[in-house]
Amino acid sequence: MSFQRKDLLGIEDLSPEEIIFILDTAKSFREILERPIKMVPTLRGKTVVNLFFEPSTRTRLSFELAEKRLNADALSFSSVGSSVAKGETLLDTAKNILAMKVDCFVLRHVSPGAPHLLARELDVSVINAGDGAHEHPTQALLDLYTIRERKGRVEGLKMAIVGDITNSRVARSNIWGMGKLGAEVRVCGPPTLIPPDIERMGVKVFYSPEEALEGVDVIMMLRIQKERQKGSLPPSLNEYKEFFSLTEERLDLAHEDALVMHPGPVNRGVELPARIADGRKSIILNQVTNGVAVRMAILYLLLGRRR
Amino acid sequence: MELVIQGGRVMDPASGRDEVLDILIQGGRIKKIARDIPGSGKKIIDASGKVVSPGFIDLHTHLRQPGREDEETIETGSRAAARGGFTTICAMPNTEPPIDDPSLVEFVYNEARRCALVQVLPIATISRGRQGEDLSPMGRLKRAGAVGFSDDGDWVTDSNLMRRALEYVKMLNLPLISHCEDKTLTQEGVMNEGYYSTTLGLRGIPKEAEEVAIFRDLVLLGMTESRLHVAHLSTSRGVELVREAKREGLKVTSEVTPHHFTLTHKEVRSFNTNTKMRPPLREEEDVAALGQGLKDGTIDIIATDHAPHTLEEKEVDYVSAPFGIIGLETALGLVIRELVEKGTLSLMEALGKLTVNPARILGMPIGRIEEGAKADLTIFDPEKTWKVEGKEFLSKSTNSAFIGWELPGKVEWTVAGGKVAYQSRK
| Number of inter-chain CB pairs under 8 A, A vs B | 66
pLDDT of residue A42: 93
The alpha carbons of chain B give a radius of gyration, in whole angstroms, of 20
Comparing C-alpha atoms, which of B157, B205, A15 is closest to residue A23? A15
So what's the ipTM on this one?
Answer: 0.93
Q: Which of B300, B305, B376, B381 is catalytic?
A: B305
pLDDT at B207 over 50: yes
Q: Which residues of B16-34 are buried (b: 16+ CB within 10 A; e: fewer)?
A: eeeeebbbbbeeeebbebe
Would you call B305 a catalytic residue per the annotation? yes
pLDDT of residue A83: 55
What are the φ and ψ backbone dihedral angles of B343, each rounded to 5 degrees? 85, 10
What DSSP string runs through A157-183? -EEEEES--TT-HHHHHHHHHHHHTT-
pLDDT, tens digit, for every residue of B288-346?
A: 999 999 999 999 999 999 999 999 999 999 999 999 999 999 999 999 999 999 999 99
Chain A interface test: which of B184, B185, B200 (most A C-beta within 10 Å): B200
Q: At what angle do helices B236-247 and B207-224 cross, to 10 degrees?
A: 10
Calpha distance B124→B130 (Å, rounded):
10
DSSP state of B13: T
Chain A interface test: which of B317, B318, B319, B320 (most A C-beta within 10 Å): B317
Burial of A56 (0-12, 13-18, 19+ CB in 10 A): middle
Calpha distance B138→B149 (Å, rounded):
8
Cis peptide upstream of residue B97 (ω within 30 degrees of 0): yes
pLDDT at B107 over 60: yes
Q: Do A113 and B320 touch (CB under 8 A)?
A: no
CB-CB contact of A155 with A128 (8 Å)? no
Q: Do B200 and A112 touch (CB under 8 A)?
A: yes
CB-CB contact of B407 with B334 (8 Å)? yes
Torsion of CA B194, B197, B198, B200, to 10 degrees: 150
Q: Is A195 on the interface with B (CB under 8 A)?
A: yes
pLDDT at B265 over 50: yes
- Of all residues in chain B, the percent with pLDDT exceeding 90 is 99
Q: Do B202 and A90 touch (CB under 8 A)?
A: no
Q: Is A132 on the interface with B (CB under 8 A)?
A: yes
pLDDT of residue A232: 58
DSSP strand E in chain A: where? 47-52, 73-78, 104-109, 125-131, 158-162, 184-188, 203-206, 218-221, 259-261
pLDDT of residue A45: 95
Chain A interface test: which of B182, B190, B198 (most A C-beta within 10 Å): B198
Q: Do A117 and B198 touch (CB under 8 A)?
A: no
pLDDT of residue A229: 47
pLDDT, tens digit, for every residue of B37-82?
A: 998 899 999 999 999 999 999 999 999 999 999 999 999 999 999 9
Q: Is B316 on the interface with A (CB under 8 A)?
A: yes
DSSP state of A282: B
At residue A188, the 3 state secondary structure works out as strand
Q: Do A196 and B202 touch (CB under 8 A)?
A: no
Q: How confident is the model at residue B173 (pLDDT cuts 50, 70, 90)?
A: very high
pLDDT, tens digit, for every residue of B218-236?
A: 999 999 999 999 999 999 9
What are the φ and ψ backbone dihedral angles of A159, each rounded to 5 degrees? -125, 140
Specify the DSSP element, H or E, that contains A120. Answer: helix A114-121
Calpha distance B408→A96 (Å, rounded):
41
Within 10 Å of residue A105's Cβ, how many Cβ atoms?
24
Calpha distance B373→B338 (Å, rounded):
31
What rounded mean pLDDT belongs to chain B? Answer: 97
pLDDT of residue B426: 62
Calpha distance A176→A170 (Å, rounded):
10
Comparing C-alpha atoms, which of B269, B394, B423 is closest to residue B327? B394
pLDDT of residue B425: 84
Contact residues for A160 (Cβ-Cβ < 8 A; gap 6+) = A185, A186, A187, A188, A206, A209, A212, A213, A216, A218, A219, A220, A254
The pairing of strands A104-109 and A73-78 is: unpaired
Q: What predicted TM-score, i.e. pTM, was given to this entire model?
A: 0.95
pLDDT of residue B400: 98
In which residue ranges of chain A is pLDDT below 50? 81, 229
What rounded mean pLDDT belongs to chain A? Answer: 93
What DSSP string runs through B62-115? ---TTT-TTT--HHHHHHHHHHHTEEEEEEPS-SSS-S-SHHHHHHHHHHHHHH
